[in-house]
């Protein structure tokens, strides 16, 4: 139900107006019956008024529920009946010779119905009442001079209608206010639950759910840059710390590293203990080369942040704080939603992922090892040291690896500028 349908509950309000209009018409005609020597013609008009009102009520109720009549035909018939309401009101005004009190009462009743309900057909309804007034003025053979009693009754009917209309509007206002408050509470509840739930979902799954997309199992092949890291010496450290200290240390580390990953546009895939898996290139990619450079830049930022954390932990009394080691590889992976209809995991699989994990295991403290594939993508922007070939578990052939030093632009800015000789 739209807000217009709620504010203007057609046909209820329109039927109430028609009933008031027919009662006013019958009152005027019955009051004039004696003045016109009990002319039988007036008595024949009164039943037609109530037949019109009762027939319109039945027709509107039938049309509201019927599915056999198209919506356009329902709207056309409803517009015709509202135009007829205006014709009747205008004719009654002309019949009384536009008596000021009766014209005012009928006019106010009409305007409250049209304006108060914000009807889109208001111009047509006003045209109807003006047409009825003009046609009645020109074509009616007689005019009626209503007595004071008739005028008083018309005013009472008009006042009663306006009172009922106001009460309906007041009731509608309270219903709308209650619904608005209920919707706002529900939105706040859903927002809070969504925020809590988002912490357990990957960015891609969270985005798909919030945008209303159908989340289902499915993968695609993409060239991605994959990053693995863990803390060297963490297992031994965990044996020497109590649970509260270990939890605080791990949460601080994961928070710092995750914020750096998000800052550089990475997708945090997994956090298992002290190990972090991040990849670049999905769901959004800035190009294979740019993704690789962003990944290495992220690793360098993590390396710098980890040294700051080591100093902080040393001040807090933690002996031999753990060091960070990282591995990066670029290659074709299967990425997407893996799992069943009831349980999905957004992740990636492939040889490139396994190699990145092996490089991380082979790295030394505070070292970033990259494969030859990644080196070929970043060599113009990153200075690396060739470490030759190493054997890694799960790969039959030796792997060419490189150790990341820093970005070329950082190295250039750190070198002292040569001073010009003064002659």
Segment 160-210, tens digit of pLDDT = 888 888 887 788 788 888 888 988 988 888 777 777 666 666 565 566 666
| Nearest-angstrom CA–CA distance, 243 and 381 | 42
Task: Specify the pLDDT at position 9.
Answer: 41
- 329: helix, strand or coil: strand
**Which of 208-222, 253-267, 331-345 tops mean pLDDT?**
253-267
Over pLDDT 70: what percentage of the chain? 80
Token pair 């001079």: residue: 145
Which residue has tokens 């209920």?
182
For 21-37, the pLDDT digits (tens) are 888 888 888 777 666 56
Q: Note the CATH number of domain 216-414.
A: 3.30.70.1230
Instruction: Please provide residue 349's backbone torsions phi and psi, each rounded to the nearest 5 degrees.
Output: -135, 160
Token pair belonging to 232: 């060297």
- Per-residue pLDDT, averaged over 59-66, amounts to 57
How far apart, in whole angstroms, are the C-alpha atoms of residue 282 and residue 288? Answer: 11
| Sequence spans of domains, the chain | 3-182, 216-414
The dihedral over CA atoms of 358, 362, 368, 374, expressed in degrees to the nearest 10, equals -40
DSSP state of 417: P
Residue matched to tokens 């002319």: 39
Nearest to 249 by CA among 314, 295, 185, 303: 314
pLDDT tens digits, residue range 271-298? 888 899 999 988 788 899 999 999 999 9
């Amino acid at each position: 139900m739209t807000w217009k349908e709620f504010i203007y509950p057609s046909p209820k309000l329109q039927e109430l107006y028609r009933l008031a209009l027919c009662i006013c018409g019958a009152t005027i005609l019955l009051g004039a019956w004696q003045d016109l020597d009990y002319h039988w013609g007036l008595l024949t008009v009164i039943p037609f008024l109530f037949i019109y009102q009762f027939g319109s009520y039945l027709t509107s109720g039938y049309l509201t529920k019927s599915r056999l009549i198209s919506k356009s035909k329902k709207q056309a018939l409803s517009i015709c009946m509202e135009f007829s309401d205006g014709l009747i009101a205008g004719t009654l005004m002309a019949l009384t010779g536009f008596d000021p009190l009766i014209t005012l009462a009928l006019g106010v009743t009409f305007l409250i119905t049209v304006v108060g309900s914000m009807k889109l057909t208001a111009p047509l309804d006003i045209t109807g009442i003006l047409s009825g007034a003009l046609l009645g003025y020109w074509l009616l053979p007689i005019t009626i001079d209503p007595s004071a009693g008739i005028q008083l009754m018309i005013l009472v009917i008009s006042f009663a209608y306006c009172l009922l209309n106001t009460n309906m509007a007041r009731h509608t206002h309270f219903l709308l206010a209650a619904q608005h408050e209920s919707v706002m509470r529900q939105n706040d509840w859903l927002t809070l639950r969504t925020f809590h739930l988002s912490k357990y979902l990957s960015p891609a799954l969270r985005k798909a759910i919030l945008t209303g997309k159908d989340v289902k199992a499915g993968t695609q092949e993409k060239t991605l840059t994959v990053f693995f890291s863990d803390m060297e010496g963490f297992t031994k450290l965990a044996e020497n710390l109590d649970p509260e200290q270990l939890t605080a240390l791990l949460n601080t580390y994961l928070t710092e590293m995750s914020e750096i990953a998000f800052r550089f546009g990475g997708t945090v895939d997994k956090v298992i203990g002290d190990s972090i898996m991040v990849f670049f290139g999905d769901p959004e990619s800035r190009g294979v080369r740019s993704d690789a450079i962003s990944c290495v830049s992220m690793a360098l930022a993590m390396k710098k942040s980890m040294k700051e954390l080591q100093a902080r932990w040393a001040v807090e009394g933690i002996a031999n704080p753990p060091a960070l080691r990282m591995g990066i590889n670029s290659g074709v992976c299967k990425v997407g939603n893996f799992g069943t209809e009831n349980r999905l995991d957004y992740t990636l699989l492939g040889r490139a992922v396994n190699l990145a994990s092996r490089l991380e295991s082979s790295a030394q403290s505070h070292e970033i090892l990259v494969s030859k594939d990644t080196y070929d993508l970043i060599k113009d922007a990153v200075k690396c040291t060739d470490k030759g070939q190493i054997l890694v578990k799960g790969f039959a052939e030796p792997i060419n690896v490189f150790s990341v030093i820093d970005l070329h632009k950082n190295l250039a800015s750190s070198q002292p500028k040569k001073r010009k000789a003064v002659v």
